[in-house]
Structure 1
């Protein structure tokens, strides 16, 4: 199945890329979540507009990406959440929670670039990865505290 990606998908590609995937993955995951559109000659004309929008948001220079990485890694970000008496959370920390905390700390990061390894369900300090550039990944330290 041939698709055009509209969002970044880890391990598959970036917006505007034309990819070939298995039918079930495309029909059951990528298309319902609007991560991709079906490829056609008419839709291929949209690729240019998708790539222009991606270029406007992207960090172009590797040195600029390394500077952004240092800025992200330099400080610990606090994420206030509701927690029980034993330190267990009511739910889990999501990438949206981390993105909002980073925005509050002065670093605007797209939530699709944040990767949380294991679900965070307790108070404490955790490391989260942020893909700043295709070649640069920052490890951000977040401190989950009771609100």
Structure 2
């Protein structure tokens, strides 16, 4: 029984690492409306990031998107996505002006 649990945990960990590697290959682009001085109307949220990741064919939970602070200006950001307790993917996010 213990051996089966260890094997299942190793398999889950290997799958989590493969998922992390796939996420880290992504480069997400979020087009936003901006006002004066390139300030975004509103902000880019965890849900926006979940939707962008879903558009690439991956499913994540918005509670696993770790934003240090709200994204309120144009630029390139690294967004952390927690996959398991000790496995986190760093995903590149480009926030650009919507034409």
1:85 is displaced (CA, Å) by 4.7
> Deviations along 1:69-111, whole A, 9 cap, x unmatched?
0111112111121112532100111101111111112221111
Instruction: Give per-residue Cα distances to partners, 1:14-45, cap 9 Å, x unaligned.
Output: xxxxxxxxxxxxxxxxxxxxxxxxxxxxxxxx
For structure 2, the 5+ residue unaligned runs are 1-10
Task: Give the distance between the partners of 1:146 and 1:105, measured in 2 at CA.
Answer: 21
Larger Rg: 1
TM-score by length of 2: 0.82
User: What corresponds to 1:136 in structure 2?
Assistant: 87
More strand by share: 2
- Measured in 1, the distance between the counterparts of 2:12 and 2:66 equals 22
Aligned match for 1:63, one of 14, 17, 20: 14
**Partner of 1:126 in structure 2?**
77
TM-score under structure 1 length normalisation: 0.56
Root-mean-square deviation (Å): 1.3
| Stretches (4+) displaced over 6 A | none
Q: Which residue of 2 aligns with 1:93?
A: 44
Matched, 1:83 2:34: yes
Secondary structure (helix, strand or coil) at the match of 2:37 reads coil
1:74 aligns with 2:25: yes
